[in-house]
Amino acid sequence: MSVALPERVDASRMVQARRFFAGKLPLASFRRLRESLAAVEGEASYELEFGKDELGVAYLAVRVDADLPLTCQRTLEAYREPVHVDQRLGLIGEESEEAALPPGYEPLLIPDGELSLADVIEDELILALPVVPLKPGAPLEWHDEGAVEESEPNPFAALGTLRKKR
C-alpha cells in the first residue's frame, strides 16, 4: 500500500499504528544532497516502516534505492552510482537512551517527537555517498606530468654521504 509522504509525523503515533509509507521522491527535492550530485535528474524509491520489536524498542525501518548522478574524482566524468540503504533506526527522545539500543540499530534522535520523513530519507542517502566517488572502470594509475622522474638526481643524496663519513 503506497501512501503519500506527509511533511512531518508524530513518531509515537506512527509506531503505535505500525504505519508504512512507500513511494518515490525526486532527487531535486533533496536540497542538502543536491550539493554532492552532478545532476538532479532521477528519483529515489523508498519504503518506511514504523514498529516495535520484541524488546519493545520503537524503530523506523528505512529502505531506499537510487541511482545517484556523481562526478568521478579521477576522470571528472559524470556517472550513476547505485545506492541501496537498508537501515533500522531506533527512535530515541534523549541522547542518553542511545546506549540502551540493541545491536543493529542506529539512533534517530527526535526530542520533540516529530520528524520529517523526507529528511530521514535524505540523511540516509547522504550517509550512503562514497567518500571519493570513482566511476567503475576508471583507470587506477594517475600520472602527474609535472612530477620528478626517477632518472633525476635526488637533491638529498649529498646528505647521505655526510652521514656515512661519521
Distances (CA, A) of 148 to 39, 142, 152, 159: 37, 14, 7, 19
Q: Return the percentage of the chain with pLDDT > 90, whole number.
A: 72
Strands, E assignment, the chain: 9-10, 20-26, 43-52, 58-71, 78-92, 106-109, 114-115
Instruction: Pick the more confident residue, 139 or 83.
Output: 83
Cα 13–chain centre separation: 27
Instruction: Pick the more confident residue, 46 or 154.
Output: 46
pLDDT of residue 108: 95
Local structure of residue 20 (DSSP, 8 states): E
Strand, coil or helix: 120: helix
pLDDT of residue 141: 67
**What are the residue ranges spanned by the domains of the chain?**
9-165
| Cell 626517477 belongs to residue | 150
d(CA 144, CA 146): 5
Q: What is the mean pLDDT of the chain?
A: 88
pLDDT of residue 152: 72
